[in-house]
């Protein structure tokens, strides 16, 4: 499964399902796909994501995901989504995922 995050003023971000759901939960969302965040709530979701990532640090994978020889940290995987959320806050745009 893939999760596609979108907002009006940014290119779509596509993540593998387990990573996308982990990001949603870090944002304070239920992890339900599809769903959305209204523009007024995007700043709080961004703050939640950043706070959760600061606690995780450079952990390579969410629990249960197999580790390969060159793991990519969850913090680095979140960068495109952080950018999308930042643009959505700046432009006052809703964020959707499917």
Q: Which of 1, 10, 17 is nearest to 87 (CA)?
A: 10
Residue 23: CB atoms within 10 A of its CB come to 27
How far apart, in Å, are the Cα atoms of 16 and each of 2, 9, 19, 78, 93?
Answer: 5, 22, 6, 12, 24
Contacts of 40 (CB under 8 A, 6+ apart): none
Q: What pTM does this model have?
A: 0.85
Rounded distance between C-alpha atoms, residue 96 and residue 69, angstroms:
33
User: What is the pLDDT at residue 72?
Assistant: 84
pLDDT, tens digit, for every residue of 33-64? 999 999 999 999 999 999 999 998 766 555 55
């Amino acid at each position: 499964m893939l999760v596609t995050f979108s907002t009006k003023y940014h290119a779509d971000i596509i993540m593998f399902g387990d990573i996308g759901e982990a990001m949603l939960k870090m944002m304070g969302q239920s992890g339900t796909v599809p769903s959305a965040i209204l523009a007024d709530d995007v700043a709080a979701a961004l703050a939640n994501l950043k706070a959760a990532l600061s606690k995780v640090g450079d952990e390579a994978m969410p629990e249960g995901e197999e580790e390969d020889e060159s793991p990519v940290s969850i913090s680095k995987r979140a960068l495109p989504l952080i950018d999308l959320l930042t643009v959505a806050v700046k432009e006052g745009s809703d964020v959707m995922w499917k």
